[in-house]
Amino acid sequence: MSDIFIETKGRAGRITLNRPKALNALTYAMCLEIEKALDAWRDDTSVEVVVIDAAGDKAFCAGGDIQEMYDTGITGDYSYGRTFWSDEYRMNAKIAEYPKPIIAFMQGFVMGGGVGVAGHCSHRVVCETSQIAMPEVGIGLVPDVGGTLLLSRAPGGMGEYLALTAARMGPGDALHAGFADTFVPREYWLDLISQLEQNGDVTKIAEVAETPPDAPLADKQERIDRLFEHGLDGIVSALEDDGSDFADVALKAIRRNSPLAMAVALVNIGRAREVDEIRAVLGFEYEYTYRSMEHGDFLEGIRAAIVDKDRNPQWKYALGDVPISVVEEMTANLGPNALAL
């Protein structure tokens, strides 16, 4: 059975991720197929909109399929991972810059690579089961696939909070943070997609939109702004001093994650606020991901979370001891190896 279904139906180009047992994790081949379809439909006048959805109830896409990256990287071969990332990022950029409407239907888990597919679409639909997150720092990576751009545009310190804690957003918070546009109950999705196929009219989305559920993180926006204001060490100190249940939960999450990755993530969010387009941000992200297996915590993070599953990663640096010089090295321009889109 194919990992991805691609077809045209009526006026819509249709892309359906089809690995429900693997939470629709994105493989390298799936990235290339999505890009190929977008290229084919760009100038096809019979295709007026693109609809991206996924099979199953548990996930739109829970991230990238990183097993092959680990298997090759652990042998000292970093080329596969670098090629995967560069080609995936090119696909992310094409989604963000696409001249036709792309509607993503995001049920269940939408994480990492899933955000890279859905988060840059022109119309991002969530439902009551949606759980969106950028959890990369937990495996020694930084938020990537253009997710740093979304984090940098979130209100106040929300982007820093989401990046460092890998917190999951329900539909209400996803709308508040700018990771989604519209809440439509799942029961209406099939009919809505059918209408989009028939007439290509994206105004149909607003006709079935409803007020989203509560947004608990949005209710804590003022506290988040205050606590996530000053660098990694400053954030940790502020959380320790705050002493609230919210701060304790956030601090516990931060202490699990890669200090190096978190430090770089904060730098990247700051840099993303200074630019206006996704290609520059993808370039920032690639500076770390390119180096992440050889010089970062990525392989150790995968070992602890996926391979040995001991949940006890041995990060390169302790919290509070990440040298500024190393952060600068991990975010330095790659010269001839820089991301070329």
Catalytic residues: 64, 113, 136, 144
d(CA 35, CA 107) in angstroms, rounded, equals 22
Q: Name the strand (E) or helix (H) holding 7.
A: strand 4-9
Of 272, 194, 248, the closest CA to residue 14 belongs to: 194
Rg (CA), the chain: 19
Maximum C-alpha span of the chain = 59
- Where helices occur in the chain by DSSP H, the ranges are 28-42, 67-73, 79-96, 113-118, 147-153, 158-165, 171-177, 189-199, 203-208, 221-227, 231-242, 245-256, 259-272, 278-292, 298-302, 324-330
Cβ(82)–Cβ(134) below 8 Å: no
